[in-house]
Structure 1
Amino acid sequence: MIKLLKYAQRAVYSLLFFTVLLTGSSFRKVYGQEKLNVALAGLSHDHVNLIMNDYSKGLVHIIGIAESNKDLIEKFKKRAKLPDSIFYNTLDDLLKHKKPDAVLAFNAIEDHLSVVETAAPYHVSVMVEKPLAVSVKHAERMIQLAKQYNIHLLTNYETTWYASNQELYQKIKKDQSIGHIRKMVAHDGHKGPKEIGVSKEFLAWLTDPVKNGGGAVIDFGCYGANLMTWMMDGKAPLSVTAVLKQIKKDVYPKVDDDATILLEYPDATGIIEASWNWPFNIKDFEVFGQTGYLQAVDPGNVRSREHNRDTYQTTQPAALAPSASGYLGYLSAVLKGQINPANDLSSTENNLIVVKILEAAKESAKKGQKVYLK
């Protein structure tokens, strides 16, 4: 009887052990299936380091990379231990052999159009790094292709995933805690791309007026335009007035390195301060309402003051859901139909207006006058 009990006990333990192994294997399989299979168009944008970090952590599958620069290929093969088999000379060749969930563009802004022109006929969605395009003409063509082939076209901004910015939107638009918006101010920039040591491949096109569309006005002006368009419910400003300066002409001889952009709305004003001349890195956003003030100081801090208080209060917003806290989670949710991106910070609706604002800012600075948006 004792032997029989011991045998039964061993059998139960064996069954439990097998079940744990099977269950663990199943969870790994399910988790693995939830990872995105992405292709990269280009490696010259330094933001590519973010997805390489995610790849190294096992958070995403990179199944193809379109890049012709041999130095960049060797650099990332070594750094991320990428196999030779995933590299292709062109995006078209890549998409003939692989079917990614989406293409992520890490190339010059001027080349965003060609990425969409290539990916759309394959019915593959595209996410580009900010801003959407170098011109309104390019942006409109990209959006037309996205609609024609029924794909998603998204724009990735670092500030989209700031819990502080999401907290401001909640308090202002949903809770209506400071009344109607009267003034918005965005400060974005750093000491300068050369000064902070970006890669030579990135610097080459970032300081090219054709490849990048401009200097600081494009690189950092887009952040404020994106957030302000969001806060104004997707409405474009009535007019744009801008001053662009070349403070460091010897360093950036071809493009502006400082931009101040004034956006005029029917009942509010937006001020975008974008620069490669800040004494430190900065991405903050201030909103003044009828009855209060809110500032997204950095990703994790919100500063506020009510009209009847003499002091400011600083709080930490709650952590965001995975679909709102990073580009991979958001992209996955959009592709699965869990999120409708219309009028979101990453949407074509918002980002077409962003490109219109930036194009008008360049025109305003060139002509020395206010430019009215059509």
Structure 2
Amino acid sequence: MTTQPLRIGILGLIHDHVWDHLPQLQHSQNAELVAAFDTNQPLRERVESEYGCPTYASVKELFASHELDGVYIFSSNQEGADLALQALNHGLPVMIEKPMAASLAQAEQMLETARAQELCLMVNWPFAWWPQMQHAVNAALAGELGTLWQVKYRAAHAGPKELGCSDYFCEWLFDPDRNGGGAMMDYCCYGCVLASCLMGAPASILASGGAYRAEPLGVEDNAIIVMNYPDGMATAEGSWSQVGKLTAYATAIYGSQGTYIVEPQKKGRLMLATADQSEGVEVKVQCPVLSLQTATEHFAHCVRTGETPWALCAPETSLEAQRILEAGMQQLHRR
């Protein structure tokens, strides 16, 4: 197994999350940025200036110019899936930003191709690297809360532009074809993947949402998906119009023997309530091993060892979330 840093190419710069991952590559001993592709010259110039790497306006030109060990994809949901297929068919492992694709058909084709090529396909979920989220998910899967009967997640902010998202990002977020929807696709996806990871495929779903902002964005700006299970339920909420941060990015996991509340971001707490400690106590969470600290370190580990990505980032989990999202969007369109 090679100890040389993985040579990573970036495909797409129009998803703003890319600017969180480039510093990871810059500081990692296990992966390095080799080249980047995007059709927008200002974004190429920014990467060249800040990271000193060559950039290309053509994926084929990048592939022809560099030997790579893997690619990161930060494009629109629709175009990102196409880029993933190009990379997989070129023999390259892929890390793609959540949710996975703009449609279920695209997601299914990605997983089918990765399996056929025997390549790593990892879907990055930003909350997957919160230590308290990792602890809660692993403990819940191990049965420490008893039988799970409900999972809740709410992702919310005042809106992409209000949050400071770039024009490149907003342009495709507000395009139902390139995004696959609006707030439902962008933000309900988190609750869907969490429920898929912890409770599996739902028996049925119920979705609702609409455009409730004073100035509509052309897509739904608020949505909720209720997932029904034989012995429980889960909810995924997404909002692009919430004032303030109260309840935003809050996670609740309910079991027959206890309840977890997962506070957001890497410094958030993990709280546990039981019959004996009904008010809840903080669970002390250990710092994860290096391979679980960032998406870059985890992808490098999986590519090198052949291990599958951990539960939240496994493509099978994201495929199930994509199936739920597509059913939700179909219900929304019928309203």
Shift of residue 257 of structure 1? 0.9
Cα distance in 2 for residues equivalent to 1:55 and 1:168: 27
Q: Which amino acid aligns with 1:318?
A: Q
Q: CA deviation at 1:36?
A: 2.4
What residue number does 1:191 align with? Answer: 158
Match of 2:39?
Answer: 68
Instruction: With the length of structure 2 as denominator, give the TM-score of the two structures.
Output: 0.93
The answer to whether the 8 A contact 2:26-2:33 is kept is: no
3-state secondary structure, aligned to 1:224: helix
What displacement does 1:148 show? 2.2
Amino acid at match of 1:94: L
In terms of Rg, which structure is larger?
Answer: 1
CA distance in 2, matches of 1:151, 1:140: 15
Render the CA deviation track for 1:299-329: whole Å, top value 9, x for unaligned.
3311111123342212341111111121011
Separation in 1 of the partners of 2:101 and 2:159? 21
One of 212, 221, 226 as aligned partner of 1:262: 226
In 1: Cα distance, 2:96 partner to 2:214 partner: 29
1:237 aligns with 2:202: yes
CA contact (8 A) 2:174 2:182 kept: yes
CA distance in 2, matches of 1:153, 1:55: 18
The aligned counterpart of 2:285 is 317
Over the matched positions of the two proteins, sequence identity in percent amounts to 25
Q: Deviations over 1:124-163 (max 9, x none)?
A: 0111100111111111111222122221111000111111
Q: 2:250 is matched by which residue type in structure 1?
A: D
Q: What secondary structure sits across from 2:254 in the alignment? A: strand
Question: Superposed, which structure 2 residues align to 1:38-77 within 5 Å?
Answer: 38-57=8-27, 59=29, 60-77=31-48
Shift of 1:366: 2.5
What code does the residue aligned with 2:287 have?
A: A
Aligned residue number for residue 180 of structure 1: 147
Q: Give the corresponding residue for 2:213.
A: 248
Contact kept, 8 Å, 1:192 with 1:276, in 2: the verdict is: yes
Contact between 1:284 and 1:297, CA under 8 Å: does it hold in 2?
yes
Matched letter for residue 166 of structure 1? Q
Residue 286 (1) aligns with residue 280 (2)? no
Question: Does the CA contact (< 8 Å) of 2:81 and 2:102 recur in 1?
Answer: no
Q: Is the 8 A contact 1:180 1:289 kept in 2?
A: yes
Pairing 1:335-374 to 2, within 5 Å after superposition: 335-337=303-305, 339-341=307-309, 344-368=311-335
Whether the aligned pair in 2 keeps the contact of 1:241 and 1:365 (CA below 8 Å) is no
Tell me the secondary structure at the aligned position of residue 345 of structure 1.
Answer: helix
How far 1:122 sits from its partner (Å)?
Answer: 1.8
TM-superposed deviation, 1:113: 2.4
Q: Which has the higher contact order (CA 8 A, sep 6+)?
A: 2
Q: CA deviation at 1:41?
A: 0.4
Q: CA deviation at 1:47?
A: 0.7
Unmatched 5+ stretches in structure 2: none
The 8 Å contact of residues 40 and 66 in structure 1, kept in 2 or not, is answered as yes
Please tell me the root mean square deviation across aligned C-alpha atoms, in Å. 1.9
Any residues of structure 2 matched to 1:1-374 within 5 Å, and which?
A: 33-57=3-27, 59=29, 60-78=31-49, 80-83=50-53, 86-174=54-142, 176-232=143-199, 235-248=200-213, 250-252=215-217, 254-281=218-245, 282-298=248-264, 299=266, 300-337=268-305, 339-341=307-309, 344-368=311-335
Q: CA deviation at 1:65?
A: 0.9
| One-letter code aligned to 1:321 | V
- Shift of residue 46 of structure 1? 0.5
8 Å Cα contact 1:92/1:118 also seen in 2: no
SS of 1:328's partner is: helix
SS at match of 1:151: coil
Task: Output the TM-score relative to the length of structure 1.
Answer: 0.83
Q: Point out 4+ residue stretches in structure 1 off by more than 6 angstroms.
A: none
Count of aligned residue pairs for this structure pair: 330
Cα distance in 2, alignment partners of residues 81 and 141 from structure 1: 33
Listed one character per residue, the Cα deviations across residues 182-240 of structure 1 (whole Å, up to 9, x for unaligned) are 111111122210111111111111111011111111111111111111112xx211111
Mind listing any 5+ residue stretches in structure 1 that lack a counterpart? 1-31, 369-374
Question: Aligned to 2:279, what secondary structure does the other structure show?
Answer: coil
Deviation for aligned residue 1:249: 5.3
Deviation (angstroms), 1:170: 3.0
